[in-house]
Structure 1
């Protein structure tokens, strides 16, 4: 898998746009990031999974997935080793991450409910 294929796969998902975050390409649904390219370096991508989803993919495919080091990883942020990921596995992880973001209400929606 190349960075170009990661980008194409992410952008093929519904309502996804590409942006930039801290010098890396990111992929968003409704202005919320669910995946990035180039973290920690050009050989990796990242998907925002739930901690439960992360545990499943890391156990099933430890050569492809690993928790992001530190607190972000404990929250489900998961690195993807691009050279090891195949199209089906990557699409599944990106879809889960995109669905996770799409399912959460935005901060403005939550703030309105409190009013």
Structure 2
């Protein structure tokens, strides 16, 4: 089970990550010119959303259907994926956050995770 504080800590461990409000949700963004969101956390803390490719989303949802599910709207059709925090472990969370961060980060920052 992942608690909101743990999710926050893990998201902020990724290079150049900042936390900002996104409407009434918390968002984690890459601190770069476009400031793309790679993770959101709603106030109820039941799940978190990450932004993956459609192929990555399909793979994770098929492999771990109790943990991952597509966001139930047009964003979900584009790869936005929810994570059930009560079912998730730390390794799985880190993997999903890293994938999502990688898609949001400019190419020059992506090498920071490869070092």
Range class of TM-score, shorter chain: 0.7 to 0.9
1:20 aligns with 2:24: no
Query: If the length of structure 1 is used for normalisation, what is the TM-score?
Result: 0.85
Q: What is the aligned partner in structure 1 of residue 113 from structure 2?
A: none
| Structure 1: tracts of 5 or more residues without a match | 105-115
Query: If the length of structure 2 is used for normalisation, what is the TM-score?
Result: 0.85
| Structure 2: tracts of 5 or more residues without a match | 108-115
Mapping for residues 25-104 of structure 1, pairs under 5 Å: 25-29=26-30, 30=32, 31-38=35-42, 41-103=44-106
Query: Where does structure 1 differ by over 4 angstroms across 4 or more consecutive aligned residues?
Result: none
Q: How many pairs were matched up?
A: 104
CA RMSD after TM alignment: 1.6
Specify the SS of the correspondent of 1:72. helix
Larger of the two Rg values belongs to structure: 1
Deviation of 1:103 after TM superposition, in Å, equals: 4.4
Specify the SS of the correspondent of 1:18. strand
